[in-house]
A and B are shown apart, each in its own frame.
Chain A
């Protein structure tokens, strides 16, 4: 209990920054997976969000299905922490495009917030629970092993 009080008293004290990154990563992954699955489940509900140029004719549903698949894939990449920075950057750009096209509405402001959250993931380091960390650690160990052998 004293530790918790001390933690809230001292803003410079760090508790578990890796866990903080995991929360952000999984939170954004959940958002992307939810939207991706919703788009695959009922694509016609989403065609209205497309710019008029794209929603004309029979292109609307395939575009939404493709978009849903992409969001699921990158959502899983964030969930696993696999190429987190690239996945977060691509999804941030994607959401930024949506934010601009929607404009200053409740949905637009929400997407803007999500874009900023994804951009913060691009700037953060790999947390120890993700695949990126494990892969880089293995790579580092392999390099060390090679150097010691030579």
Chain B
């Protein structure tokens, strides 16, 4: 066999080995991410409950009826009979001081397009490196400017997929 062919086959074999190995590791880590995603989902549900984000609450309707014959006022709990009232509570707003408390690599919130997102879990997976984003954690304008400068609008849909919505930004 020709020496050139030998080297070509060696390089091709190493390429295939690297690709196969990387894919294998990728699949294994993807499974791990899936299990952690369940955890994230659970957390987001919990946070939704605590922050009452667009939460519809069934409230007990307590009506006050006045007994006209006796003139006394009595409270009657008519939970079962009364129509259920729906209360929609607006999205929580995040102030700039709230946002700045989440300005580290381990707890990274950023403001984007008037909303605040948690991108902590994505930081280590950013192709451009953690430091590119981490320095903008806890900011709105800083992050938006850097994002627009690096990606324009090409990565907005990707950002929306990976970012966890926290609330509306209320920046003064």
Residue positions of A touching B, CB distance < 8 A = 33, 36-38, 40-42, 45-49, 52, 68-69, 72-73, 76-77, 80, 82, 105-107, 131, 135, 138
Contact = CB atoms under 8 A, between A and B. Distances in A.
B19 interface: yes
B3 A40 contact: no
Interface residues of B, number: 27
Interface stretch (B53-61, B63-71, B93-101, B150-158): B150-158
Contacts of A131: 7
A45 B127 contact: yes
B158 A69 contact: no
Interface in B12-27: 12, 14-15, 18-19, 22-23, 25-26
23 contacts: A37-B18, A37-B22, A40-B18, A40-B22, A40-B26, A41-B23, A42-B125, A47-B158, A48-B151, A48-B154, A48-B155, A49-B154, A52-B154, A68-B19, A69-B15, A69-B19, A72-B15, A76-B11, A76-B15, A77-B11, A80-B10, A80-B11, A82-B7
A42 B26 CA distance: 7
